[in-house]
Amino acid sequence: MAASDNVAALRSVGVTLTTKDEHPAITQPCAAFDGSVCTVYADRPTLCGLFTCALYRRHEAGEIETADAKALIAKTTELRDRVRSSIEGHLGAMGHEVHGASFGELYELLDEELDAATDPVAAREENSLMLMYAAALASRLRRDFRNPT
Ligand code: SF4
């Protein structure tokens, strides 16, 4: 966090501050994100204000029209919700409390569950549609939104 960041405002809405690779970070999913917008936009951390995803950069460079970028975001959001709902339903049925878990935590827990099955290969085949959607989401995020490192 930057010294000028309003940490109290962030904590008041449940935003959890942490460090990742020795850099300040926000525990994801961020408590200030309501599914489509930042609810503390005026007080968002400096880090958030500086971040631009690959799609935004392409839009700024004139490589993608606003309508096409919005359509891509809408399709990806729909896929994200489908994947989250599917994985949460699967894990919830197995007795896991997963509300508020990040995608990384959900994927890790799902992987552990499938590996722990009597027949892990059969378990993955039984859940192949869910796994296919999860792979499609990961691929789309990597291709259209992540910045090259
Ligand atoms: S911009 Fe995103 S990550 Fe940053 S505080 Fe808002 S919702 Fe959270």
Q: Which helix (H) or strand (E) holds 20?
A: strand 17-20
Higher pLDDT, 124 or 30: 124
Question: Are residues 89 and 18 located together in one domain of the fold?
Answer: no
Q: What is the pTM of this model?
A: 0.80
Once rounded to an integer, what is the mean pLDDT over residues 112-122? Answer: 96
pLDDT at 51: 87
Question: Are residues 26 and 84 located together in one domain of the fold?
Answer: no
Question: Are residues 32 and 89 located together in one domain of the fold?
Answer: no
Ligand 1 atom closest to the Cα of residue 44 is: 5
Q: Is the pLDDT of residue 105 over 80?
A: yes
Q: Is the CB of 32 under 6 A from ligand 1?
A: yes
pLDDT at 15: 86
Q: Is the CB of 44 under 6 A from ligand 1?
A: yes
42 alpha carbon – ligand 1 mean position (Å): 10
146 alpha carbon – ligand 1 mean position (Å): 16
Question: Are residues 68 and 45 located together in one domain of the fold?
Answer: no
CA-based torsion, 124, 135, 89, 92: positive or negative: positive
- Final residue before a domain boundary, out of 15, 32, 51: 51
Q: Is the pLDDT of residue 3 over 80?
A: no
Domain that holds residue 63: 56-145
Does a structural domain hold residue 93?
Answer: yes
Q: Is the CB of 38 under 6 A from ligand 1?
A: yes
Length of the chain: 149
Does a structural domain hold residue 2?
Answer: no
Q: Is the pLDDT of residue 99 over 90?
A: no
CB 131 within 8 A of CB 84: no
Domain count for the chain = 2
Nearest 5 degrees, angle CA 122-CA 127-CA 133?
Answer: 140
28 burial via Cβ count (<10 Å: 0-12, 13-18, 19+): middle
* Mean residue pLDDT across the chain: 90
135 alpha carbon – ligand 1 mean position (Å): 25
Does a structural domain hold residue 23?
Answer: yes
Number of neighbouring beta carbons within 10 Å of residue 37 = 8
Question: Are residues 61 and 45 located together in one domain of the fold?
Answer: no
Does a structural domain hold residue 1?
Answer: no
What are the distances in angstroms from CA 113 to CA 20, 47, 94, 97, 120?
26, 35, 9, 14, 9
